[in-house]
Chains A and B, each alone.
Chain A
Amino acid sequence: MLSYFITRIAQAIVVVFAMSVIVFVGVFAIGNPIDVMIDPGATQAIREKLIAQYGLDQPLVVQYWTFLRNVFAGDLGTSMVYNIPVVDLVFSRFPATLELVAVSVLIAVGVGIPAGLWAGYRPDSFGAKLVMALSVLGFSVPTFWIGMLLIMGFAVELGWLPSGGRGDEATFLGVSSSLFTLDGWSHVIMPAINLSLFKMGLMIRLTRAGMVEAMGTDYVKFARAQGLPDRQIVFSHILRNISIPIVTVLGLELGSTLAFAVVTESVFNWPGVGKLIIDSILQLDRPVMVSYLIMVVILFVLINLVVDLVYARLDPRVRLKGGA
């Protein structure tokens, strides 16, 4: 187990390092951020002074080396636009994204897996067909548009829910979150539903496919022959057997939603990290782009690690070998 961890962490370091080179070279190729930010009234002298001040006149290798040295000294850089350390900037907004994603994943799993099980258990029933048709909508209708419809319906016409933003926060057990207040929930529910639709569609289809396949297998037939009730067969045998692909996809989706929930965040004006990174790209705020993408890589590596651990728990045949 320990050697497994060490190998995984060594792999992660290599991935992060490779990623930092790719991101750095890519960002360098886009161009000089000063040219994007500077006011048209500035003189050539002001421009050149700035470029030197931010070290942008140095060759790529030198700039990268400076960046690496700072990272090892624990400094991920300071935003050029806000003049706030990137880590502070990202973590001031990360809790908002975490809340939104957590609620949306709960909705996707809580609705998607039971619906998928039902659709696979009784594939010919009307309910199952309806569920499948709706899951196609979840996939194919753009989230931007659904978000606008939700706002028009529930915020503008009915006036039940606020149209955007994050609600009041409260502190519970030392954690500050808007999920501890009713106002917070009224703000999070619409964007969370909007964000969950795609994942929900995915969960329904994956679960149903696994379910249909499993219903025809020998172990289910044996269980039936043994006289076990269907409820027990579905929940303790089938669900466990089909959960590996579901957990894999859920892990990947979790990572990408945490990092790039930008469409939903924009539509609902949710103060999360997705909006921050898009603005940084538009303004070529290099330190934020580079450091944020590196944090995303670390996040994905961590999620994959957790997913592997969950596999081992779900399926005893999966062994966590050090050398693999």
Chain B
Amino acid sequence: MTKLTLKSAVAALALASAAPAVMAADLVVGLRAGPDSIDPHWSTLGSQAEALRHVFDTLVDVDEKLQLKPGLAVSWEPIDDTTWEFKMREGVKFHDGTDFTAEDAKFSIERIPEVTGPMPMTLYTKYVDSVEVVDDYTLHVKTKGMAPSLPNDFTRLFVVPSETGMEAGNEEFNSGEKAIGTGPYTFVSWQPKGDLVLKRNDDYWGGETAWETVTRREIPEDTSRVAALRSGEVDLINYVPASDYLAMKNDDEIDTFVSDSIYILNIAPSVKDEEPQPIKVNGEEVEGNPLQDLRVRKALDLAINRDVLVNVVLEGLGTPANQLMPEGFFGYSPELGKREYDIEKAKELLAEAGYPDGFEIDFTCTNNRVPGDAVVCEALAQMWSRLGLTVNAQALNGTVFFPAAAREEYTMTMSAWGTLTGEAAYTYGALVHTKDAEKGFGNFNRSGYSNPEFDKVFGEGSQTLEPEARKKLYEEASFIAMDDRALIPTVILQTVWAANADTIDMTARVDQETRTYAIKPVE
């Protein structure tokens, strides 16, 4: 091929690709992950729920801060210790024109155990004993024991028409035949790992949405997603990598949207009688476990400069954390102030505890689980070395870290935890409560922490149906656990979206979902 023909060939290709200009009423979004199926009862995966929300509605919805708000159910209340009453929204129609009634909600709850896959949604129906349709718009759910968090579980309960039939599976949903919901968009097409194409539902009960068609394109590779935005191929991307964030923030052609996420990097010091990896002074193993001493845990906490972690280590993409959940979550304690940084006080406390010259300790973290985990790990080790400690920091791949952490082989760890449900019971029941396989508590409590006072307050909370009273109890539990340094929270990680400047208007969500129907074009 001569130079001339090569040039003209490239020019021809360029013309071809530049031809279709994107219409304002269409939105193309580049996302890191998409659904695994169009069946809304198949998997608990976050990216699955996020995508299917466009086609199907849940009984209970959540706002940007993960707090409950009405969805297909307009209200809910416990009528006795083991019965919840849900009132259904009237006048809602499925995409095929049939009316939505309580019968459809009942069918959806009962369909889950029949069809759910290896990421089982039975998680959200585990408290359900039986479901009763009282009338077209009233549903009674009988629970196994008291279940104050049932409305939280139902935030992932997508409703399909009762005509769907129990035998319909992924195939019928993926083809679109059964992909009929009440949501803001109707299903057009989907390819695994490819595009999910949606068309506006003009009869949506929740009001009009801005975009005529929406294409949700999966682009898992970070750099490729950024390139797709910069080349104009997509209008919006999620999970902007930290390495591109600063450049985009200072770029007039790009708008960024930042939100705290539910993920917080927490330090878990083992408080067992014998620590799994020995703690040493002058090469000699010390008697007992220094981490059992609250003064030592407080010293570790005081030596952490969270402002440096956020502004320097994470390049601004974080918020200092003072408890295990972001502000506004159900059970967040407003009593707890900002964590202070005071290296002198930390040294004093350490000396009081009998370690004036510090000690040598192993510290293990994840290095690929969330953005920034490895760098925060190294920074913490440096901060503690100012305190006089010798810290052997090690950041490991999650596939190595998690099984070993589950075997409780580490003395002190750091990893991320997200309060997926927006309320304290999820996090405290798994992380802080005394390990108790029978009650199903403490599944992820690997530090051996056990505080009867905390367990009592938390236990009372989980047996209180009245929301305000329960909230107060969880706030008290937060205070007890944090004051006792059961875990030491460091930073809340943030999520970034990016779009071409002055094109769209969106509210960044704490659950990291990209809800296309809540996004509006800039006029």
User: When each residue 1-32 of chain B gets 1 if its CB lies under 8 Å from chain A and 0 otherwise, what string results?
Assistant: 00000000010111011100000000000000
Question: Do B192 and A37 touch (CB < 8 A)?
Answer: no
What sequence of 0s and 1s flags, for each residue 141-172 of chain A, a beta carbon within 8 Å of any chain B beta carbon?
00000001001100110111111110000000
Please state if A81 and B36 are interface contacts (CB–CB under 8 Å): yes
**B123 & A42 in contact (Cβ 8 Å cutoff):** yes
* Least CB distance, A78 to chain B, in whole angstroms: 9
Contact of A163 with B13 at beta-carbon distance under 8 Å, contacts A46-B123, A271-B193 already known = no
Q: Does B283 count as interface, using CB distance less than 8 angstroms? A: no
Given A83-B169, A271-B194, CB of A46 within 8 Å of CB of B120: yes
- For residue A35, give the distance in angstroms from its CB to the closest CB of chain B: 8
Contact of A163 among B220, B228, B437 (CB under 8 A): B228
- For B, the interface residue count at a CB cutoff of 8 angstroms equals 50
Answer yes or no: B444 CB below 8 A from chain A CBs.
yes
Beyond A83-B169, A163-B227, A275-B193, whether A39 also contacts B119 by CB under 8 A is yes
Q: Does B117 contact A (CB under 8 A)?
A: yes
**Chain B residues closer than 8 Å to A267, beta-carbon distance:** 221, 223-224
- Indicate whether A84 sits within 8 Å of B10 (C-beta atoms), given known contacts A163-B228, A183-B17: no
Please state if A152 and B227 are interface contacts (CB–CB under 8 Å): yes
The answer to whether A83 and B219 touch (CB under 8 A), given A41-B123, A159-B18, is no
Find residues 262-287 in chain A having any chain B CB closer than 8 Å to their own CB.
266-269, 271, 275-276, 279
- Do B192 and A92 have beta carbons less than 8 Å apart? yes
Asked if B118 and A80 sit within 8 Å, CB to CB, the answer is yes
Given the known A-B contacts A43-B126, A266-B221, A267-B223, are A164 and B192 also in contact in the complex, defined by CB atoms under 8 Å?
A: no
Most buried by A among B193, B218, B230: B193
What is the chain A residue whose CB lies nearest that of B169? A83
B447 on the A face (CB < 8 A): no
Asked if B227 contacts A162 (CB within 8 A), the reply is no
Q: How far is the CA of A145 from the CA of B169 in the complex (A)?
A: 42
CA distance A31 to B402 in the complex (A): 13
Interface mask (A77-115 → B, CB under 8 Å = 1, otherwise 0):
000111110000100110000000000000000000000
- Verify if A304 is at the interface (C-beta below 8 Å from B): no
Q: Is B158 an interface residue (CB 8 A)?
A: no
Residue of B nearest to A34 (CB): B118
Does A33 belong to the interface (CB within 8 Å)?
A: yes
Flag if A37 contacts B119 (CB, 8 Å): yes
A50 at the interface (CB under 8 A from B): yes
Interface residues of A in 36-84 (CB under 8 A from B): 37-44, 46, 50, 54, 80-84
Interface residue from B14, B193, B233, B426 paired with A160 (Cβ < 8 Å): B14
The answer to whether B224 and A186 have CB atoms under 8 Å apart is no
User: Would you give the shortest CB distance from B38 to chain A, in whole angstroms?
Assistant: 11
Tell which of A42, A151, A189 touches B13, judged by Cβ atoms closer than 8 Å: A189
Most chain B CB atoms below 10 A, which of A43, A54, A269: A269
Q: Closest CB-CB distance, B3 to chain A, in whole Å? A: 14
Judge whether A162 and B231 touch: CB under 8 Å: yes
* Interface assignment of B288: CB less than 8 Å from any CB of chain A: no
**Inter-chain CB contacts under 8 Å: number:** 134
Task: Please measure, in the bound complex, the distance between the C-alpha atom of A161 and the C-alpha atom of B233, giving whole angstroms.
Answer: 10
A185 an interface residue at 8 Å Cβ cutoff?
Answer: yes
**Of B16, B118, B421, most A-chain CB atoms within 10 Å:** B118
Output the least CB separation between A164 and chain B (Å): 5
Smallest beta-carbon distance A152→chain B, Å:
7
Contacts of A42 in B (CB 8 A): 120, 123
Asked if B430 is at the interface of the complex by the 8 Å CB criterion, the answer is yes
Is A25 an interface position by the 8 A CB rule?
no
Contact B227 A83 (CB under 8 A): no
Query: Please, which residues of chain B bring their CB within 8 A of the CB of A155?
Result: 227, 230-231, 233
Q: Is the CB of A268 within 8 A of B224?
A: yes
Which A residue's beta carbon lies closest to that of B43? A81
Contacting pair B170 A82 (CB below 8 A): yes
Most chain A CB inside 10 Å of its own CB: which residue of B16, B194, B440, B443: B16
A182 interface residue (CB < 8 Å to B): yes
Who on chain B is nearest to A111 by CB?
B1
Q: How far is the CB of B232 from chain A (nearest CB, A)?
A: 7
- State whether A81 and B44 are in contact (beta carbons under 8 Å apart), knowing that A183-B16, A267-B221 are contacts in the complex: no
Shortest A130–chain B CB gap in Å is: 16
Q: B420 within 8 Å of A by Cβ?
A: yes
Are A164 and B219 also in contact (CB < 8 A) when A43-B440, A54-B118, A81-B118 are? Answer: yes
**Chain B residues with CB under 8 A of A162:** 17, 231, 233
B51 to chain A, nearest CB (A): 14
Q: How far is the CA of A289 from the CA of B194 in the complex (A)?
A: 20
**A39-B44, A40-B443, A269-B224 known; A160 and B17 CB under 8 Å?**
yes
Residues in chain B near residue A151, CB distance under 8 A: 224, 227, 231
Instruction: Name the residue of chain B whose CB is nearest to the CB of A282.
Output: B399
Within 8 A of B (CB), among A160-205: 160-165, 182-183, 185-186, 189
CA distance A40 to B191 in the complex (A): 28
Which residue numbers of A lie inside 8 Å of B, CB to CB? 31, 33-34, 37-44, 46, 50, 54, 80-84, 89, 92-93, 148, 151-152, 155-156, 158-165, 182-183, 185-186, 189, 266-269, 271, 275-276, 279
Residues of B within 8 A of A (CB): 10, 12-14, 16-18, 36-37, 39, 42-44, 117-120, 122-123, 126, 169-171, 174, 191-194, 217-221, 223-224, 227-228, 230-233, 403, 420-421, 426, 430, 437, 440, 443-444
Give 14 A-B contacts (CB < 8 Å), ordered by A residue: A40-B430, A41-B123, A41-B421, A82-B192, A84-B170, A84-B174, A92-B191, A151-B227, A152-B227, A164-B224, A185-B13, A271-B193, A271-B194, A279-B193
Given pairs A93-B193, A156-B227, A156-B230, 6 additional interface contacts (CB within 8 A):
A41-B420, A43-B123, A43-B126, A46-B123, A80-B117, A185-B16
